[in-house]
Chains A and B, each alone.
Chain A
Amino acid sequence: MRTLTLADAVALIPDGASLMIGGFMGVGTPERVVDELVRQGKRDLTVIANDTALPGVGIGKLISAGLVGKVIASHIGLNPETQKKMIAGEIQVELVPQGTLIERIRAGGFGLGGILTATGVGTVVEEGKQKVAVAGKDYLVELALRADFALVNAFLADYLGNLSYALTARNFNPVIAMAADTVIAEADNIVPVGLISPDHVVTPAPLVDYLIAQG
């Protein structure tokens, strides 16, 4: 694990990169990283996240700034700009049931090729997908998802990169931290090693490649 400044960490992300971003309606989204992506003007990003928040909040800022070419998410309904850009053909949107999305990401991080789920059987979600029957019940084959980068927001990080989360800001964060080639963590608080009890570490330090320094 290396500690980097915000600008240096975001400079690692090339145009065209795929990003998994933590957060649920902006809660648990690494807001400083988002702001820096906008400042550095990255182009043609693929964003994999639960939602696109609201205009001016979290991932909504990336959408408004026109940095995103593709979104894989479960919900875009509270961000009219995402819908407008989708209808105008400026952003490609793949809508995935929330439980399927997080489980595809989990599969990507846990070394699985995909998962079987009954969610979406008999709906438009099953179009183009393999369907299998197991013990008499139909399931869709949903493929694993990985990304170039995971952009994680934690409540606490220690100097080694151990992470813990707070309240409902945990959401996608610990799952995406398993599923990307490079993991960048932004923490609300950075504390000395040992202050997070081993039982309270949710994301173990070896998963984190870069921790963004405060300031």
Chain B
Amino acid sequence: MDAQTVIAKRIALELRDGMLVNLGIGIPTQVANYVPAGIRVFFQSENGLIGTGAPPEEGMQHRLLTDAGGRPVTALPGASTFDSATSFGLIRGGHVDMTVLGGLQVDQSGHLANWMIPGKMVPGMGGAMDLASGARRVVIAMQHNAKGKSKLVKACNLPLTSARPIDLLVTEMAVIAFPGGRATLQETAPGVSVQQVLDATEAELEVPQHVLQMSL
């Protein structure tokens, strides 16, 4: 199983029946492929859709039915559409139960940086700041390292997305929560030891007596 699949499958286990969930682009989008059997989850696209479904078959695209990246999607039975003010009212107003976003860095207090690299990448924050500040639960899907360097750092040196700490970080190595504002190792991936996670991590990690193995 590749890193992205491990992350997406583990995050999918956080989904509950009836939840309204917003998925960011990249690994977060893949979470929709692993919704546990027997539950219904409403996926929001912040361009104005609840009930976002999988991409349509070739030839079945509609130019006015797209996701937040502008890609054609389908709408599931029970879907609804609305304007951008309503869409962000859903997000800021705490109606979105969970958002899954990508990350450039997460620090040991749970701060997220995911929208710009000064001098290199200034795409604009889009909806990321509203989601990171407003969704009830913020889950980050992020590879543990980039170019051999830990992305779970002591303190973010990239511009923050929100001052509010995230709730859960899932990497291909570990699941990390932030109770009391301290990064705490909760689970390790199959075949990964606690020591391997510690060795790969720049941030200071709390390690409780019992660290579970990720079930996938």
Contact = CB atoms under 8 A, between A and B. Distances in A.
A100 B134 CA distance: 12
B124 A122 contact: no
Given A119-B130, A169-B64, A98 B70 contact: no
9 contacts: A53-B70, A75-B124, A86-B122, A95-B122, A97-B127, A98-B126, A118-B134, A168-B81, A171-B47
Interface residues of B, number: 42
B47 A122 contact: no
Given A172-B84, A175-B83, 6 more contacts: A24-B48, A28-B64, A97-B129, A98-B88, A103-B85, A122-B164
Contact of B84 (A50, A76, A95, A123): A50
Contacts of A98: 46, 84, 88, 125-127, 130
A149 B159 CA distance: 34
Interface in B95-146: 121-130, 133-134
A7 interface: no
A174 B81 CA distance: 13
Contacts of B130: 97-100, 119
A25 B134 contact: no
B20 to A, nearest CB: 16
A75 B121 CA distance: 12
A154 B208 CA distance: 56
Nearest to A125: B129
The 4 A-B residue pairs with the shortest CB-CB distance, nearest first, are: A77-B123, A122-B163, A25-B70, A99-B88
B69 interface: yes
Interface of A: 24-28, 50-51, 53-54, 73-78, 83, 86, 95, 97-100, 102-103, 105-106, 117-125, 155, 165-175, 202
Contacts of B34: none
A27 B70 contact: yes
B65 interface: yes
Contact of A168 (B49, B126, B162): B49
A73 B127 CA distance: 11
Nearest to A110: B85
B45 interface: yes
Contact of A120 (B45, B63, B64, B129): B129
Contacts of A167: 49, 62, 64-65, 75, 81
A26 B62 CA distance: 13
B41 interface: no
Contact of A25 (B49, B65, B69): B69
B188 interface: no
Nearest to A124: B159
Contact of B160 (A53, A95, A122, A175): A122
B66 A175 contact: no
Contacts of A75: 123-126
A106 B81 contact: no
Contacts of B92: 99, 117-119
